[in-house]
Every structure is written in structure tokens, then in C-alpha cells.
Structure 1
């Protein structure tokens, strides 16, 4: 279950890197693009970069702590990771909605 959550967060970042309309787009170096997206994307939405870095920063230490035995049982580990998963989905979803609304408003003003 936990690996499914991790994979879905990671795939969410892959999907967001291919968004055509975004309010804030940043240029990232090739090496960072390879680490975060496993392929080269020159320009990616800022929300995508923030989400991918957040997934890496939160997931890797939690997995390391789990394998080192810092959690009493798998239930504690799953509970912590589920909370991170829910927070990440809520943040990413709300940021995408706001970004989409602002992007549409800007495109209508230009027209």
C-alpha cells in the first residue's frame, strides 16, 4: 500500500511536468530534470518541481527510518506516510486549481 502511494505521488509529478498551461514555468538543469522526472524537461511548471522535491524530501528519510527500525511496527509507518500522502494530494490539487484559474484569467485578458 505504501509503495502504491509513493508511486502515485511520483507519477503525479511526471504528469504535472507535461502540463501545457501553467502560470509559473521554470527552467531547470538537465541533471535535476533526470533526477525528478527520469527524462529531460527544459521548462516545467513550478508546482511540479515543488511537488517532486517534496515527495523526495519526505519519502526517502521515512523509508530509511523504517528500514533502520525507528518505527515500532508497520502500522506507525503506514500512518505517518498516509498523512503525508493526504497532505500532498490536498496541496497539489488546490495549487493546480488555483494555477488553472489564474492561467485562464491571464489567457482571456490577452485575447
Structure 2
């Protein structure tokens, strides 16, 4: 039986969301904290794996880096637990963006991660 090698690189980022010290606030942690993308056309998937039983979901993503020509628009899964986009990774650049969340009570909040592009070609 032959093995099929995936032609599209995939990077999964785990997201942990915990209630903050102040009511109505949340602490968001990602692993890896700043993903390093080394291959072109990489698919990046942010996945909420622990939300402290708060029923936290993604509502979207906003790109902060001006002149973005690297990240595609994001897609949120039906469950809201995954947010996926592609990274062209054609420029050596660190890209800032905002992950948008909502809790079970409808409270919206944000987290500002980064992705480090380091094309190897």
C-alpha cells in the first residue's frame, strides 16, 4: 500500500480560553504562541480545545497588518470551535490579526495573535 503525501501543508494551533480575574473577561492562550510558517500555501487552523465550559466560539478574524497579501479570509466551522485560513507565505513578515470570539451569553471579545512567515524557497 502506498502512502499519499499531502501536497498542502497544514498547521494546527490549539486555543485555550479561561475566564479572567474580572467578570466578563477572558484569558486566551495559543500553542504555538507565534506559529512559524515555512511552506507556501499553508492552511492554518485555530482550534478551541478548552474553553472552561463557557461555550466559547469563534465569530471571525480581522487582519491588522496593512497591505495584507498573505492571509485569505477566514472560515468558521459550523460548531464555531475552528477557524481556518490559508497563508501564501511568499514574504518574510510577521502578520498581526485579531481572533473574534463570543461566549454563551453573547459577550464578544478578542485576542491578537501573530503568524511569522519564513518562506524557505
TM-score (norm 2): 0.23
Q: Which has the higher helix share?
A: 1
Identify which of structures 1 and 2 has the higher relative contact order when contacts are C-alpha pairs closer than 8 Å and 6+ apart: 1
Q: Which has the higher strand share?
A: 2
TM-score (norm 1): 0.24
